Structure 1
Amino acid sequence: MGMTRRAAVLAGLAATATATATASHAAPRAPRAVTTAGPVIGRRQDGLNVFKGVRYGAPTRRFQPPEAPTPWRDPAPAFDYGAASPQRGNEPNQSEDCLFLNVWTPGLDSGRRPVMVYIHGGAYSSGSGSDPLYDGTRLATRGDVVVVTLNHRLNALGYAYLARLTPGFEDSSNVGQLDLILALRWVRDNIAAFGGDPNRVMVFGQSGGGAKIATLMATPAAQGLFHRAATMSGQQVTASGPINATTRATTWLKALGLTPDRAHEAAALPVERLLEAQGVEDPILGYGGLYFGPVLDFRSLPRHPFYPDAAPQGLGIPMIIGNTREETLGFMGNDPKNVGLTWETLAARMSPGVMRIDVTPEAVIAAYRRMHPDWSPDQVLIAATTAGRSWRGAVIEAEERAKAGAPAWVYQLDFPGETASGRKGAFHTADIPLVFDNVNAAGSRTRGPSAQDVADQMSDAFIALARNGDPNHAGLPHWDRYELPTRQTLLFDIKPRMANDPRGDERAFFSAIPYIQPGT
């Protein structure tokens, strides 16, 4: 009887061991990485190791530079996106405790994969790294790269210039940029634990994300933290001047019911009030809400990013500079004010708030009617606002890098997406799902089999830049560096092609008009 009982016990133990081994094989252990602050546990999803909501900074102190997080001992779960910076609009999960990042990696081994760090757009006022279009699954899998997205402080919380109004807030105008630098330091110090190469870090970003990158390329504290860069419809030729930034801060304080000598009280007000007060008209622009962005404070930012030339600090960084052919279709394409435009009503539609440069609409209309006599008033509106206000900064950045002999590859997206109203064109944001290889993701308006063909071209080019410092790959014609006077540009479409100085007539017309970055 004793032997029978013993045999039964042994058989039970063997069965348990077999079941455990089978379960272990069916459900791999959750990925675990050790950061300088402590261990984190992610999830295994779609063949990748995914870590969401990894803390890279301590809870923020309002208007103060960020600090490293307090170390922890027990493994921290990294299963869900972290909070976004407080902002106007419907971005979910907002908190001033917002210094979090997300990582998608094929493996935690020492594969030394290229690292692609995406900085989100939304100007300097909105957005987060958790948009479905920024999901790094397909990009990481496609290129065997590590993809990182992140959150940082925005709007007045990241860029209100209070230094000239009250002591103790000397860095307030650029703390949003200092957050990004802290995140890039986290990447430098920790990405090897996630299978990435800290010596091959590429930053890329669209719209405001590209502008933030251009600013980082002139920020001494960011030097050496990234080695390639790509900007998509986002540029920062000039930063905000300190006097204009002070005027904006004073206007904002007045909307809060505070005089300049009480500026310090803004640090204790409810965040909802701070956001609401940003809706007052900008005193410099004379239209729209208050602009908050990086300031030439001669502390964090000692010079303009691309004025009077390209900041020397960034000249050794290989760079993609891109735009979309009909940028402003994304802002104006669904506006009822554009319905039924005629040559007689077009001038009134092209107000300073639309053109954002100091030129009469009549002169612009006359120039376009000479250059493109077959275009409609609506076509002129979209082309002129794109060339005059959106594309202009990208051209200046490319030209300044060419003058300095710095490597830059320039693209224009010609492949059309479809707006909510059904209008088609290569509008602002149309390249995001293409670069991320996410044409079928929620929110994508660049869809279909042909869109996937263009996504193959663009995502592989960005991956190639991250890996080799050169975006050329077998799926493209040879992509020449941008040089003067030829201005070689890759036109991304179903059949990509190189062109010299595309839209050169428009470029030449607007080059005669002085340009200062809108808002600065």
Structure 2
Amino acid sequence: MTAPITRRVLVSSAAVLAALPRPSPARPRSAATPQVGRYAGVVDNGVTAFKGIRYGRAARFERPVAEPFDGPAFPATTFGPICPQRAMGGEAQSEDCLFLNVWTPEADPRAGRAVMVYFHGGAYTTGSVTDPLTHGSALAAGGDVVVVTVNHRLNALGYAWLKPFGARYADSGNLGQLDLILALQWVRAHIRRFGGDPARVMVFGQSGGGAKIATLMAMPAAKGLFHAAATMSGQQVQASGPAHAWARTQAFMRALKLAPDEVETLRTMPVARLVERLDAADPVMGGGVYFGPVLDMTNLPRHPFWPDAAPQSLSIPMILGNTREETRAFLDPRGPKLKGLGWDNLAARILPEIKIDLDPVWVVEQYRAREPRWTPEEVFYAATTAGRSWPGQVIEADARAAAGAEATWVYQLDRRSPTDPLRGAAHTDDIPYVFGTQAAPGSYSGTDAGAIALGETMMRAFTGLARTGRPGLPEWTPYRLPGRATMVFDDAPRMVDDPRGWQRELWAKAPYVQPGS
């Protein structure tokens, strides 16, 4: 999991987006004026969209409660507000942010399509499913599935640990996760009316969204709410311990100039003031203060993948994936961290970017011995990816394989961006292929024939998992030890055993430190 990044707008033409080929769904489309219960939707690129449906309400720092499905007529035509945060300028933000969106080829209760529920990235601090890369119309049409995207509480509003202040805050530390569980309960109760099958619900998420899914796989209240999962560059090996979570809450309160016991002021202060101080320094890991799931022994009674995979997760078919050069997305090759990079300063530049405590001088020596033709920049991105963004996926996949979970598939995105020669295959670059949003603002995939073909392949893989519990690519071999079979997604997708195996072994010589733990 990594800090959120700012995506640059590459293609904004709706005409280009409309020109992308999309397979036709098996059933007829919805009516021009779609209606499900009290919700009036809109036609969005040939499918029906219901946007801004409220699934719950919540007072600050308290457990969410469900929103009744029936009620006054509601025009579900625009996105609801997103959780208050320091990023995402220009979008409506509100603490009242428990909204979801549905795209369906056919709002008919008899349709019974598989359902794909997406949780957004941005760690646990920022982000939203209003991002054009994650609009669901192309996936719903091209994959013939029902797509649901969910917003929920983030940062201190969703994850501050306040339980030491008393019973009123018993669920704090995991409120954002409880929001997601409430959304999945909404899906189970109501998605049939939108043409979905509540017995075939797949959750998928990128970066922080994947971490949220890994955490749900260890939460008893989430058991049975989804039947398959896919995480894209997002893992959660360990949650934050309560002592570290409490230190973070106290640091946050000091930044707000509150006394250690002023929880009532924290609960009632204007949300804008609370958001301003999310830049407080983290007393455990450094950098900005971290808020994420807490091992509270009730909502989250164990770590998701430590010391092993949570038993309730082992029966859930799962795809796990990462990109080959994750860190090119947030360690800008044109920025100051790469300026003047050479063999003499490479180790010092690598050190602050990794989450595994190995001597960076020794690390550089190993890379140079193994890959003598690589440049300092190539070693920098390979080492920071393998020592920061990739280990969690390896740990989770290995833990599932060691426990005998047969239904595990792993991928690595190798296709380099054709629109930015310095980007490589970076964090977030798999999103447009799965969603079919190659032409959306923020995509680095391009819209050439290779981008379209890989998108069709990855969409088929993900929708197959949603429909049948197996990726829709018969050639994709399950991940087992010691082979570690991996699907490499590139212009010519292929199966490879243990790609980057020597790097995996190198970084396994010391423990991985989960951000936030």
Using the size of structure 2 for normalisation, the TM-score is 0.91
Provide the rounded CA distance (Å) in 2 between the counterparts of 1:509 and 1:61: 47
2:27 aligned residue = none
CA contact (8 A) 1:330 1:419 kept: no
Deviations along 1:371-401, one digit per CA (max 9) or x if unpaired, are 2121111111100110011000000000000
Deviations 1:166-193 (A, max 9, x none): 4421111000000000000000000000
Does 2:515 correspond to 1:510? no
CA distance in 2, matches of 1:68, 1:173: 20
1:135-191 superposed Cα distances (whole Å, 9 cap, x missing partner): 111111112110000100000000000112444211110000000000000000000
Question: Which of 496, 501, 505 in structure 1 is aligned with 2:498?
Answer: 501
Amino acid at match of 1:33: V
Do residues 30 (structure 1) and 28 (structure 2) align?
A: no
Aligned position for 1:454: 454
Paired residues for 1:337-416 under 5 Å: 337-352=337-352, 354-406=353-405, 407-416=407-416
**Counterpart mapping for 1:443-482 below 5 A:** 443-447=442-446, 448-473=448-473, 478-482=475-479
| Closer, same or farther: CA 282–418 of 1 in aligned 2, 3 Å | farther
Q: How many residues of Structure 1 are paired with residues of Structure 2 in the alignment?
A: 483
Structure 1 residues 84 and 298, CA gap change in structure 2 (3 angstroms): same
- Indicate if the aligned counterparts of 2:45 and 2:138 stay in contact, CA closer than 8 A: no
Q: 1:291 matched to which residue of 2?
A: 290
Whether the 8 Å CA contact 2:355–2:513 is kept in 1: the answer is no
Matched, 1:179 2:176: no
Deviations, residues 257-312 of structure 1 (Å, cap 9, x unaligned): 112211232000111111121212111012x1101000001111000000000000
Q: Are the equivalent residues in 1 in contact too, given 2:314–2:400 (CA < 8 A)?
A: yes
Aligned to 1:281: 281
Distance 1:515 1:300 in 2: 25
- Rounded Cα–Cα distance in structure 2 between residues aligned with 1:28 and 1:360: 62
| 1:87 pairs with 2:89 | no
Q: Within 5 Å, which residues of 2 pair with 1:431-450?
A: 431-447=430-446, 448-450=448-450
Correspondence 1:69 to 2:72: no
CA distance in 1, matches of 2:377, 2:65: 49
Trace 1:36-435 onto structure 2 (pairs within 5 A): 39-58=38-57, 60-70=58-68, 72-91=70-89, 92-109=91-108, 110-286=110-286, 288-332=287-331, 333-352=333-352, 354-406=353-405, 407-417=407-417, 422-435=421-434
- State the AA in 2 paired with 1:50: A
SS of 1:260's partner is coil
Aligned-residue sequence identity (percent) comes to 55
Aligned residue for 2:129, secondary structure, equals coil
After the TM superposition, which of the residue ranges 164-173 and 374-383 deviates more from structure 2? 164-173
Q: 1:335 to 1:314 in 2, by over 3 A?
A: same
Q: Deviations over 1:339-388 (max 9, x none)?
A: 23111111221233x11222221121112112212111111110011001
CA contact (8 A) 1:165 1:260 kept: no
1:519 equivalent in structure 2: 516
Is contact 1:252-1:277 (8 Å) kept?
yes
* Corresponding letter in the other structure for 1:99: L
Q: Distance in 1 between the 2:486 and 2:45 partners?
A: 36
Partner of 2:24: none
Instruction: Supply the AA of the counterpart residue of 2:34.
Output: P
Offset at 1:28?
4.9
- Distance (whole Å) between structure 1 residues aligned to residue 359 and residue 258 of structure 2: 38
**Any conservation in 2 of the 1:166–1:263 contact (CA below 8 Å)?**
no
**Contact 2:129–2:150 (CA<8 Å) still a contact in 1?**
yes
Displacement of 1:72: 4.9
Q: 1:29: Cα distance to partner?
A: 5.1
**Secondary structure, counterpart of 1:53 in structure 2:** strand
1:15 maps to which residue?
none
Give structure 1 regions of 4+ aligned residues with deviation exceeding 4 angstroms. none
Distance (whole Å) between structure 2 residues aligned to residue 510 and residue 28 of structure 1? 54
Q: How many Å apart are 1:419 and its aligned residue?
A: 7.2
In 1, Cα distance between the equivalents of 2:237 and 2:280? 25
2:134 maps to amino acid? Y
C-alpha separation in 1, matches of 2:254 and 2:465: 47
2:256–2:274: 8 Å Cα contact kept in structure 1?
yes
How far off its partner does 1:443 sit?
Answer: 1.3
Q: More relative contact order in 1 or in 2 (CA 8 Å, sep 6+)? A: 2
Deviates more, 1:271-280 or 1:170-179: 271-280
The one-letter code matched in structure 1 to 2:320 is: I
Aligned CA distance change for structure 1 residues 480 and 384 (closer, same or farther; 3 Å): same
Structure 2 distance, partners of 1:81, 1:205, is 19
Pair member with larger Rg: 1
Partners of 1:32 and 1:41 within 8 A in 2? yes
SS at match of 1:51: strand
Deviations 1:105-157 (A, max 9, x none): 01122110000001000110111111111111111111211000010000000
**Gap change, CA 1:28 and 1:518, over 3 Å in 2:** closer
Structure 1 match to 2:5: none
Contiguous gaps of at least 5 residues in structure 1:
1-26
Alignment partners' CA distance in 2, 1:73 and 1:312: 40
Structure-2 change in CA distance of 1:342 and 1:312 (3 Å): same
Structure 1 residue 71: Cα displacement: 5.8
Distance 1:486 1:388, change over 3 A: same
> In structure 2, what is the equivalent of residue 12 of structure 1?
none
> Of residues 479, 486, 491 in structure 1, which corresponds to 2:483?
486
8 Å contact 1:326–1:428 — kept in the other structure? yes
Superposed CA RMSD in Å reads: 1.4
Q: Which amino acid aligns with 1:327?
A: E
One-letter amino acid matched to 1:442:
P
Equivalent residue letter for 2:478: R
SS state at 2:48 partner: strand
Change (3 A) 1:418 1:64: farther
Amino acid corresponding to residue 86 of structure 2 in structure 1: R
Secondary structure class of the residue paired with 2:262: helix
CA–CA separation in structure 2 for the residues paired with 1:50 and 1:261: 46
Task: Describe the SS at the equivalent of 2:390.
Answer: helix
Taking a change above 3 Å as real, the CA distance of residues 184 and 125 of structure 1, as seen in their structure-2 partners, is same
